[in-house]
């Protein structure tokens, strides 16, 4: 018998400007909720329709002490960094970047979208690193859409793309430093799934399309809301048969690190001394620069 996790809290995402001025929907961090350990941030970028010359991104900026996960749904991004790495993200692609000791990073809509305009939609998620990994060498995992495992329920009403973790008999190919799950679910009207989640995980869902009923009480969680789950070993998700369209949601979970978090912009360490060191190292050029 599984124990479905109850919803402990529902959060409304706020909108905010980031990077060079692009608008995100952000359920957290927010006043009163600095993190959902081990997750530090969730940003939904767009969906936005840019005209020619309008598209903006996040030009050169540093990171240290955590991981950034970029998941593209629509549009194209160009990523480059001080480790000499250049990547291109199209619809369905994932970049899981472990900043570790530090990189300077640039994330921009592709030149074609910057020049001609176009539609952009995606996510950026920050995953904290445990103390012993904060200064590890930077690492990249780029998974093109074609290699991202996708599974469907027997009735075909629920589909999942597995960025991290397991569901419906599938297993993600990305390696995480600590146990993490990150699923992209599409639930058609009438869908019902029970997703096993290890009891030691902290779990939440972020709805970015339609409306989902979650938890044993089948509480409605709407587009732009995040639901935090309480203790248990499964998450139940369903969509009313009468719903006007599918629900889209990210399901995220991980083992909480339970370590002190010292956070200053793009640096996330365990103490203010380590933050100070990160700033000194960045200003001295020790996080490198992007060669162009």
Question: Which stretches of the chain bind Fe ion, using CB under 5 A?
Answer: 105
Instruction: Output the smallest distance, CB 147 to Fe ion, in A.
Output: 23
* Residue whose CB is less far from Fe ion, 4 or 138: 138
* Residue whose CB is less far from Fe ion, 237 or 269: 269
Q: Residue 104: which of 76, 122, 79, 126 has the closest Cα?
A: 79
- What is the four-CA torsion angle of 199, 212, 35, 31, rounded to 10 degrees? -140
Interior angle at CA 42, CA 38 and CA 48, nearest 5: 165
Tokens of 247: 């629900």
* Residue whose CB is less far from Fe ion, 81 or 133: 81
Quickly count: other Cβ atoms within 10 Å of residue 195's Cβ: 24
* Residue whose CB is less far from Fe ion, 70 or 186: 70
- DSSP state letter for 215: T
Cα 79 to Cα 122: distance, rounded to the nearest angstrom = 14
Instruction: Output the smallest distance, CB 256 to Fe ion, in A.
Output: 24
Instruction: Output the smallest distance, CB 63 to Fe ion, in A.
Output: 5
* Residue whose CB is less far from Fe ion, 105 or 134: 105
Q: Which helix (H) or strand (E) holds 278?
A: helix 272-283
Cα 165 to Cα 254: distance, rounded to the nearest angstrom = 10
Q: How far is CA 134 from CA 66, 101, 102, 106, in A?
A: 6, 6, 9, 20
Instruction: Output the smallest distance, CB 79 to Fe ion, in A.
Output: 8
* Residue whose CB is less far from Fe ion, 45 or 148: 45
Instruction: Output the smallest distance, CB 70 to Fe ion, in A.
Output: 8
Instruction: Output the smallest distance, CB 194 to Fe ion, in A.
Output: 35
Residue that is written with structure tokens 């998974």 in the block: 143
The CB-nearest residue to Fe ion is 105
Cα 10 to Cα 33: distance, rounded to the nearest angstrom = 12
């Amino acid at each position: 018998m599984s124990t479905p996790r109850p919803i402990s809290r529902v959060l409304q995402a706020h909108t905010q400007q980031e990077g060079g001025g692009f608008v995100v929907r952000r359920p957290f961090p927010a006043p009163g909720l600095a993190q959902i350990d081990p997750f530090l941030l969730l940003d939904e970028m767009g969906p936005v329709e840019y005209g020619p010359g309008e598209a903006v991104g996040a030009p050169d900026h540093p990171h240290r002490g955590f991981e950034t996960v970029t998941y593209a749904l629509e549009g194209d991004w160009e990523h480059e960094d001080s480790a000499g790495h250049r990547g291109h993200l199209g619809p369905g692609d994932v970049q899981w970047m472990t900043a570790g000791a530090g990189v300077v990073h640039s994330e921009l809509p592709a030149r074609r979208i910057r020049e001609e305009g176009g539609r952009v939609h995606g996510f950026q998620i920050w995953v904290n690193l445990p103390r012993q990994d904060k200064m590890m060498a930077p690492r990249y995992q780029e998974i093109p859409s074609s290699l991202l495992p996708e599974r469907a329920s027997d009735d075909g009403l629920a589909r999942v793309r597995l960025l991290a973790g397991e569901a419906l008999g599938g297993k993600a190919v990305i390696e995480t430093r600590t146990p993490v799950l990150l699923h992209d679910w599409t639930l058609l009207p009438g869908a019902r799934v029970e997703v096993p989640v290890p009891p030691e995980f902290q779990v939440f869902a972020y709805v970015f399309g339609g409306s989902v009923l979650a938890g044993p009480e089948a509480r409605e969680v709407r587009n732009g809301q995040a639901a935090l789950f309480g203790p248990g070993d499964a998450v139940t998700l369903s969509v009313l048969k009468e719903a006007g369209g599918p629900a889209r949601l990210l399901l995220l979970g991980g083992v909480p690190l339970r370590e002190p978090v010292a956070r200053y912009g793009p640096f996330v360490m365990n103490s203010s001394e380590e933050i100070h060191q990160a700033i000194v190292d960045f200003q001295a050029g020790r996080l490198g620069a992007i060669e162009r």
